[in-house]
Amino acid sequence: MINHPLECWLNLRMDRPLNSGSVSPEELQAWQFGLLRKTISHAVKSSPFYSKQLQGVVPDEILSPADLNKLPVTTPEDLRKNPNSFLCVSQDEVARAITLSSSGSSGTPKRLFFTSGDLERTTEFFQYGMGPLVGEGETVLALLPDSRPGGVGNLFAESISRLGAKTVYPEDPSDIPTILNLLLNSRASCLLGPAIHIHALARLWKSKRLPKNQVRSALLCWDLLPPVAIETISNTFGCEIFSHWGMTETCLGGAVECFQGSGMHLREPDFYLEIADPETGLPVPDGTSGEILFTTLSRRAMPLIRYKTGDLGQIISGPCTCGLSMRRLGDVKGRLDTDILLPTSEYLSMAELNEIILQYVGVLDFKVNYQQQSLALNIALDIAPESKIPTDLSRALTSYPKLSRTVLENNLKINIIIDNNDGSISSGFGKRLITSS
Ligand SMILES: [Zn+2]
């Protein structure tokens, strides 16, 4: 017998009795592919983009993962070019449209549409997924994009209120000192937000010698989860850490952990997720890392079929010890094409710099710009009030093997400056990347 609320939700969605226990992987997949065929039919019938893109596809021939290669992929570029051509319902039925400005160089924003039913399914996922983290009468401090009334981030508050708990939001997610006051005043016991924000909050919390016993759980989402930041958060608050994967294209919710370090259980009733080799586009076996692609299974306004997320991850093989039937996503380590190529022909990632730079107590966040022509790595630190640039940070960077080689062989210059020193940080809700100029 499984007690996790997400298993009840899966049974509800599959029209199975609530006490019928686990769903077998075969049963789950067969049910998902039934929904996937319906999604193809709905998209071909109602979306100008898919009626063209999926011309000649026979939905009844898509029976298992091996058949997915008969379906072309959908790229973020397709979405940018003509978002309206994806729309499958009338404008009257669109409850929410979100414009996503691009963090990359292409500039054109993406636009996504959701019906009230699409939004409700996300609220349900949050409600059942957050059940083990939040008790009745408790408060969640949430750092979410679009948390205005009616905004997509607000779906989270709705799900929390269904659990008998409440949500508080900061007005400015970069203003960490104000967020710290909100955390103290609200007595919130659960934190939700990007790892870098919660990490900065933990650093300030510790600098004020505040107690360990207030926060009992933190759900980290929207970007990389640097191990060094997770350790700081966990040690500072003495709390359990849960990871979440999702993006606006998944209507925020995508996958959530059952306990720390277990991998994130997928939102199987609403998405079929696959992992593809970034070079060949072919599916890779469970346990192998590749690009995450998903197909929506219940989306009415704007179904997405084999959407290329650009995120890299892997499906963890085998069942979870918690007994949940949903597959698990593990090891979401970064995004395609975001590492920089050093003149020594080695790639440098934000994940590597996180581990070097975030280990210093006074460092809350940082930005990195790589100047290819003049060969300089410019690091702008956000530090805690009354902190300084850590004395041995420069040495730590130049002794990191890849950087050490580039300094010696190519005379790379590493410049470190202070950006913010009032406790605020520069990161927003976008992915933190090394920029190039
Ligand atoms: Zn589990």
Instruction: For the domain covering 340-436, report its CATH number.
Output: 3.30.300
Mean pLDDT for all residues in the chain: 92
pLDDT band at residue 3 under the 50/70/90 scheme: confident
Residue 325 or 224, more confident: 325
Q: What is the mean pLDDT of residues 284-291?
A: 94
Q: How far is the CA of 255 from the centre of ligand 1 (A)?
A: 11
Q: How far is the CA of 327 from the centre of ligand 1 (A)?
A: 9
Closest CA to 427 of 357, 385, 365: 365
Q: Quick one: what percent of the chain has pLDDT higher than 70?
A: 97
Token output for 139: 């408060």
d(CA 424, CA 434): 20
| The pLDDT of residue 2 is above 70 | no
Q: What angle do CA 277, 32, 292 make, to 5 degrees?
A: 25
> Is domain 133-245 classified as CATH 3.40.50.1820?
no
Number of neighbouring beta carbons within 10 Å of residue 91:
10
pLDDT band at residue 150 under the 50/70/90 scheme: low
In the DSSP assignment, the letter for residue 295 is E
Q: How far is the CA of 289 from the centre of ligand 1 (A)?
A: 20
pLDDT at residue 104, rounded to an integer: 46
Q: How far is the CA of 74 from the centre of ligand 1 (A)?
A: 30
Q: How far is the CA of 265 from the centre of ligand 1 (A)?
A: 6
Token output for 374: 């003049």
Q: Quick one: what percent of the chain has pLDDT higher than 90?
A: 81
Q: How far is the CA of 429 from the centre of ligand 1 (A)?
A: 27
Q: What angle do CA 415, 434, 425 make, to 5 degrees?
A: 75
Q: How far is the CA of 228 from the centre of ligand 1 (A)?
A: 23
What angle, rounded to 10 degrees, do the helices at 176-186 and 195-207 form? 70
Q: How far is the CA of 134 from the centre of ligand 1 (A)?
A: 17
Q: How far is the CA of 320 from the centre of ligand 1 (A)?
A: 5
Q: How far is the CA of 154 from the centre of ligand 1 (A)?
A: 26
| The pLDDT of residue 149 is above 70 | no
Q: How far is the CA of 193 from the centre of ligand 1 (A)?
A: 21
| The pLDDT of residue 103 is above 60 | no
Q: How far is the CA of 93 from the centre of ligand 1 (A)?
A: 36
Q: How far is the CA of 263 from the centre of ligand 1 (A)?
A: 7
Q: How far is the CA of 253 from the centre of ligand 1 (A)?
A: 17
Q: How far is the CA of 256 from the centre of ligand 1 (A)?
A: 9
Q: What is the mean pLDDT of residues 255-264?
A: 90
Q: What is the mean pLDDT of residues 6-23?
A: 90
pLDDT band at residue 105 under the 50/70/90 scheme: very low
pLDDT band at residue 252 under the 50/70/90 scheme: confident
Q: Which CATH number fits domain 5-119+258-335: 3.40.50.300, 3.40.50.12780, 3.10.20.30, 3.50.50.60?
A: 3.40.50.12780
Q: How far is the CA of 243 from the centre of ligand 1 (A)?
A: 12
pLDDT at residue 261, rounded to an integer: 84
pLDDT in tens, 26-84: 999 999 999 999 999 999 999 999 999 999 999 999 999 999 999 999 999 999 999 99
d(CA 364, CA 354): 11
Q: How far is the CA of 6 from the centre of ligand 1 (A)?
A: 10
Q: How far is the CA of 409 from the centre of ligand 1 (A)?
A: 47
Q: How far is the CA of 212 from the centre of ligand 1 (A)?
A: 26
| The pLDDT of residue 431 is above 90 | no
pLDDT in tens, 362-421: 999 999 999 999 999 999 999 999 999 999 999 999 999 999 999 999 999 999 999 999
pLDDT at residue 307, rounded to an integer: 97
pLDDT in tens, 297-351: 999 999 999 999 999 999 999 999 999 999 999 977 777 777 899 999 999 999 9
Q: State the span(s) of the chain assigned CATH 3.30.300.
A: 340-436
Q: State the span(s) of the chain assigned CATH 3.40.50.980.
A: 133-245
Residue 20 or 41, more confident: 41
DSSP string, 44-97: HHH-HHHHHHTTT--GGG--SGGGGGGS--B-HHHHHH-GGGG--S-GGG--EE
Q: How far is the CA of 275 from the centre of ligand 1 (A)?
A: 20
Q: How far is the CA of 191 from the centre of ligand 1 (A)?
A: 20
pLDDT in tens, 236-247: 999 999 999 998
Q: How far is the CA of 142 from the centre of ligand 1 (A)?
A: 23
